Amino acid sequence: MADQPTKYLLAEKDIPTTWYNIQADLPQPLPAVLHPGTQQPIGPADLAPLFPMGLIEQEVSTKRDIDIPGEVIDIYRLWRPSPLYRAHRLEKALGTPARIYYNYEGSSPSGSHKSNTSVPQAYYNKVEGVKRITTETGAGQWGSALAMACQFFGIDCKVFMVKVSYEQKPYRKAMMEMFGAQVSASPSNETECGRAILAKDPKCNGSLGIAISEAVELAVQDPNTKYALGSVLNHVLMHQTIVGIETMQKFKLAGDWPDIIVACTGGGSNFAGIAFPFIGSKLRGESKEARVIAVEPAACPSLTKGKLTYDFGDTGHLTPLVKMHTLGSTFIPPGIHAGGLRYHGMGPLVSHLVHLGEVEPVAVPQLEIFQAAVQFARAEGIIPAPEPSHALAIAIREALKCKEEGKSRAILFNLCGHGHFDMQAYTDYFAGKLRDYEYPAEEVAMALAGLPNVAA
pLDDT at 334: 62
Structure confidence at residue 440 (pLDDT): 75
Q: Which residues of the chain have pLDDT under 70?
A: 1-3, 333-342, 456
Q: The pTM is what?
A: 0.95
Predicted local confidence at residue 238, as pLDDT: 98
Render pLDDT for 64-93 as a digit per residue (tens, 0 to 9): 999 999 999 999 999 999 999 999 999 999
Write out the chain in H/E/C secondary structure: CCCCCCEECCCHHHCCCEEECHHHHCCCCCCCCECCCCCCECCHHHHCCCCCHHHHHHHHCCCCEEECCHHHHHHHCCCCCCCEEECHHHHHHHCCCCEEEEEECCCCCCCECCHHHHHHHHHHHHHCCCCEEEEEECCCHHHHHHHHHHHHHCCEEEEEEEHHHHHHCHHHHHHHHHCCCEEEEECCCCCHHHHHHHHHCCCCCCCHHHHHHHHHHHHHHCCCEEECCCCCCHHHHHHHHHHHHHHHHHHHHHCCCCCEEEEECCCCHHHHHHHHHHHHHHHCCCCCCCEEEEEEECCCCHHHHCEEEEEECCCCCCCCEEEEEECCCCCCCCCCCCHHHCCCECCHHHHHHHHCCCCEEEEECHHHHHHHHHHHHHHHCCCECHHHHHHHHHHHHHHHHHHHHCCCCEEEEEECEECCCCHHHHHHHHCCCCCCCCCCHHHHHHHHCCCCCCCC
Task: Please tell me the predicted confidence (pLDDT) of residue 438.
Answer: 76
Amino acid 187: pLDDT? 95
- Residue 341 is predicted with a pLDDT of 65
pLDDT at 340: 54
Domains of the chain (ranges, CATH numbers): 7-14+69-111+234-448 (3.40.50.1100)
Question: What's residue 98's pLDDT?
Answer: 98
* pLDDT at site 342: 65
Report the share of the chain in percent with pLDDT over 90.
Answer: 80
